[in-house]
Amino acid sequence: MIISASTDYRAAAKRKLPPFLFHYVDGGAYAEHTLRRNVEDLAGIALRQRVLRNMSELSLETQLFGETLSMPVALAPVGLTGMLARRGEVQAARAADKKGIPFTLSTVSVCPIEEVAPAIKRPMWFQLYVLKDRGFMKNALERAKAAGVTTLVFTVDMPTPGARYRDAHSGMSGPNASMRRILQAMTHPFWAWDVGLHGKPHDLGNITTYRGHTTGLEDYIGWLAANFDPSISWKDLEWIREFWDGPMVIKGILDADDARDAVTFGADGIIVSNHGGRQLDGVLSSARAMPAIADAVKGDLKILADSGIRNGLDVVRMIALGADTVLLGRAFAYALAVDGEAGVTNLLDLIEKEMRVAMVLTGTKTISEISADSLVREVDHY
Task: Tell whether residue 83 is among the known ligand binding residues.
Answer: no
Residue 76 in contact with ligand FNR, rule: CB under 6 A: yes
Which helix or strand (DSSP H or E) is residue 43 part of?
helix 33-43
Residue 151 in contact with ligand FNR, rule: CB under 6 A: no
Cβ contacts of 242 within 8 Å, gap of 6 or more: none
Residue 273 in contact with ligand FNR, rule: CB under 6 A: yes
Residue 85 in contact with ligand FNR, rule: CB under 6 A: no
By C-beta, is 13 or 294 nearer to ligand FNR? 13
Q: Residues 194-202: contacts with CB within 8 Å, 24+ apart? A: 194/85, 194/86, 195/82, 195/83, 195/84, 195/85, 195/86, 195/88, 196/86, 196/87
Give me the least distance between CB of 326 and ligand FNR, in Å please.
9
Stretch that binds ligand FNR, among 6-14, 197-205, 230-238, 273-281 (CB under 6 A): 273-281
Give me the least distance between CB of 34 and ligand FNR, in Å please.
10
Task: Tell whether residue 312 is among the known ligand binding residues.
Answer: yes
Residue 247 in contact with ligand FNR, rule: CB under 6 A: no
Range 305-364, binding ligand FNR (CB under 6 A): 306-309, 328-331, 333
Contact yes or no for 124/99 (Cβ under 8 A): no
Rounded CA separation 3/1 (Å): 6
CA dist 246 → 137, 148, 150, 241, 299 (Å): 16, 10, 5, 9, 19
Give me the least distance between CB of 276 and ligand FNR, in Å please.
3
Question: Binding residue for ligand FNR (CB under 6 A) from 6, 38, 311, 364?
Answer: 38
In the DSSP assignment, the letter for residue 119 is G
Rounded CA separation 54/236 (Å): 52
Stretch that binds ligand FNR, among 101-109, 197-205, 335-343, 360-368 (CB under 6 A): 101-109
Stretch that binds ligand FNR, among 59-67, 104-112, 196-204, 371-379 (CB under 6 A): 104-112
Residue 251 in contact with ligand FNR, rule: CB under 6 A: yes
Contact yes or no for 280/254 (Cβ under 8 A): no
Q: Report the largest interatomic distance among the alpha carbons of the chain, rounded to a whole angstrom.
A: 63
Rounded CA separation 300/266 (Å): 10
198 is a catalytic site residue: no
Residue 6 in contact with ligand FNR, rule: CB under 6 A: no
Rounded CA separation 291/278 (Å): 22
Give me the least distance between CB of 24 and ligand FNR, in Å please.
6
Contact yes or no for 84/334 (Cβ under 8 A): no
Q: Which residues bind ligand FNR (CB under 6 A)?
A: 24-25, 38, 76-79, 106-108, 127, 155, 251, 273, 275-276, 278, 306-309, 328-331, 333
- Residue numbers annotated as active site: 275
Which amino acids are annotated as binding site, given as ranges?
24, 106, 127, 129, 155, 164, 251, 278, 306-330
